[in-house]
Amino acid sequence: MRTTADAGAACRLPPVAGAYWRGDSNYKMPSRISGVTFADKTMPDGHMIMMADAEKRDHRRLGREIPLAHLEEVAPGSMLRHPKGWRLFPTLTGYMRDRQEQAGYVAVDSPDIMVRALWEISGHWQTYRANMLLAETVDDRNYALKPMRCPGHMRIYGQGSKSYRDLPLKRAEVGKVHRDAPSGALHGLLRLRRFPQDDAHIYCTPDRLTDACLAVDDLVLSIYRDFGVEDVRIKLSPRPENRIGSDESWGGSEGALRDALDRADHPYTIFAGEGAFYVPKLEHVLRDAIGRGWQCATLQVDFNLPERFATTNVASSGEKLAPALLHRALFGSVERVSGIVIEHHAGHLPLWLAPGQAVVAMVTGPADDRARNVATHLTAARLRVGTTLRDEKISDNVRERALTKSPVQIAPGGREAKERTVSLRRYGATSTPTLSLEAAVAALQAEAKPPALTEPRPPDRHSPKRIPTCRSPKKK
């Protein structure tokens, strides 16, 4: 921009904030004044409405109100989860495990801390060490908390001989990883140093590589639809300047990803030089309810690690050949997906996902026993239920529970106690249906089942051409 005349037809100055230079807290924090310019004078109003909506949806604020989790300086970059936040975590990871089992993945587990020599074989020590959390023991041995699971999974695959008939092998793990992100880059659940991730590695023969990529793509888009997200953009990030491996192996990996995108008929955008140091990657970027983009799922094709770890399988000819390797994350960071989903739904999560699915509140003293009886029946049906058995106005109870975003509120009064019925008050609903207790429990129990358990899943489809549900403009 040469002068302010180039700033457009209108501009807005958001609130002033502090920011470290390049995210480095060793520098003095200056004030940051940023501005947003617009080509049309009618555009700022829409932008300001979107920003106000984003502030209401901020997962950090909602996390304190519901409450789910909070951050403290005693553990920078790590969440302290409250009971409701911890209920949300197993719901997400349990859903993911169900989907992975349906897709043929087998769960494994790798150590949280491993010796330097392993990270040197993988190349992490040479090229990724600045992002790793390191430790040294009294006997002068160097270790690293795992930032990724690839080396551990390579060791698991390397135990015992493998035949081409055993492939593809799908090995998945949901657990914590640790990465030393700069202090200035940390941002609630969306950017942490310690976070759970749903890594998996697929070992297959090179001739099945494209089919394996298509199966992952099918699974990713299906999962995001379960969470109410239909708009997904795809980015292809080819080789960076700082990398390991030969140009030949990089060309093969990039070609496999392009072939999969072409067969799936997916438009995509190329982000030159943004690949990982060992592989190119596809990134699935979600667009939330107010149009913001969030990078979550990744898919990488790798010929480098099998070579570095001398990983082989016995081919049909009898010779030992290296398998093709796919690195795959469906959620990516489970914490990031938690934050995105909370903001996408403005805290009002679907019943199957909500940490508190229903709350039973007392209206009058005589109905107290009835309220306890309703809560007992709902809990026996394995629903996540809270109770408010304080003698307060119903309006006060409703207002309090509205802040905690409970999808269903039940307040049995004297008439309901006499008729053995319950009225289900749902967030955002204009009507309050009255059902028998048994019918209400059955209805809520059916609605609370995760999509992975309620919807039949088709087998992997590898047709020559498939039209995706989620599309984005292709970069020219």
Same domain membership, residue 398 and residue 291: no
pLDDT at residue 370, as a whole number? 83
Same domain membership, residue 329 and residue 385: no
Same domain membership, residue 389 and residue 329: no
- To the nearest 10°, the Cα dihedral for 99, 103, 104, 109? -40
Same domain membership, residue 142 and residue 170: yes
**CATH assignment of the domain containing 13:** 3.30.980.10
pLDDT at residue 467, as a whole number? 32
* 10-residue mean pLDDT series, the chain (476 residues): 68 74 76 78 77 85 86 90 90 91 94 96 92 93 95 95 94 93 86 92 93 92 87 91 87 91 90 89 86 87 92 94 94 89 89 91 72 91 85 64 80 81 85 91 92 56 36 40
Nearest CA among 265, 302, 244 for reference residue 123 = 244
For residue 50, being part of any structural domain is answered with: no
Q: Is 87 a catalytic residue?
A: no
Residue 442 tokens, joined: 């059955």
Q: Is 262 a catalytic residue?
A: no
Rounded distance, CA 37 to CA 35, Å?
Answer: 7
Q: Is 327 a catalytic residue?
A: yes
Same domain membership, residue 252 and residue 275: yes
One-letter-per-residue 3-state SS of the chain: CCCHHHHCCEEECCCCEECCHHHCCCCCCCEECCCEEECCCCHHHHHHHHHHHHHHHCHHHHHHHCCCEECCCCCCCCCEECHHHHHHHHHHHHHHHHHHHHCCCEECCCCCEEEHHHHHHHCHHHHCHHHCCEEECCCCCEEEECCCCHHHHHHHHCCCCCEHHHCCEEEEEEEEEECCCCHHHCEHHHECCEEEEEEEEEEECHHHHHHHHHHHHHHHHHHHHHCCCCCEEEEEECCCCCCCCCHHHHHHHHHHHHHHHHHHCCCCEECCCCCCCCCCEEEEEEECCCCCEEEEEEEEEECHHHHHCCCCEECCCCCEECCEEEEEEEEEEHHHHHHHHHHHCCCCCCCCCCCCCEEEECCCHHHHHHHHHHHHHHHHCCCCEEEECCCCCHHHHHHHHHHCCCCEEECCCHHHHHHCEEEEEECCCCCCCEEEHHHHHHHHHHHCCCHHHHCCCCCCCCCCCCCCCCCCCCCC
Nearest CA among 218, 260, 268, 270 for reference residue 457 = 218
For residue 432, being part of any structural domain is answered with: yes
For residue 454, being part of any structural domain is answered with: no
pLDDT at residue 1, as a whole number? 59
Record the pTM.
0.82
Rounded distance, CA 143 to CA 151, Å?
Answer: 13
For residue 234, being part of any structural domain is answered with: yes
Q: Is 460 a catalytic residue?
A: no
- Which of 59, 149, 153, 201 is flagged as catalytic? 201
Same domain membership, residue 279 and residue 375: no
pLDDT at residue 464, as a whole number? 33
104 in the Ramachandran plot: left (φ > 0), alpha (ψ -120 to 50) or beta? left
**CATH assignment of the domain containing 387:** 3.40.50.800
Q: Is 201 a catalytic residue?
A: yes
Same domain membership, residue 367 and residue 253: no
Number of domains in the chain: 3
- Which of 81, 99, 170, 179 is flagged as catalytic? 179
- Which residue type is seen at 400? E
Rounded distance, CA 184 to CA 20, Å?
Answer: 6
Q: Is 281 a catalytic residue?
A: yes
Same domain membership, residue 270 and residue 174: yes
For residue 106, being part of any structural domain is answered with: yes
- Which of 57, 81, 171, 281 is flagged as catalytic? 281
Same domain membership, residue 133 and residue 41: no
Q: Which domain, by its residues, includes 426?
A: 358-449
389, β-bridge pairs = none
- Which of 100, 146, 171, 197 is flagged as catalytic? 197
pLDDT at residue 44, as a whole number? 77
Q: Is 179 a catalytic residue?
A: yes
pLDDT at residue 116, as a whole number? 96
**CATH assignment of the domain containing 180:** 3.30.930.10
- Which of 59, 81, 100, 150 is flagged as catalytic? 150
Measured CA to CA in angstroms, residue 354 lies from 362, 385, 424, 445 at distances of 22, 10, 16, 13
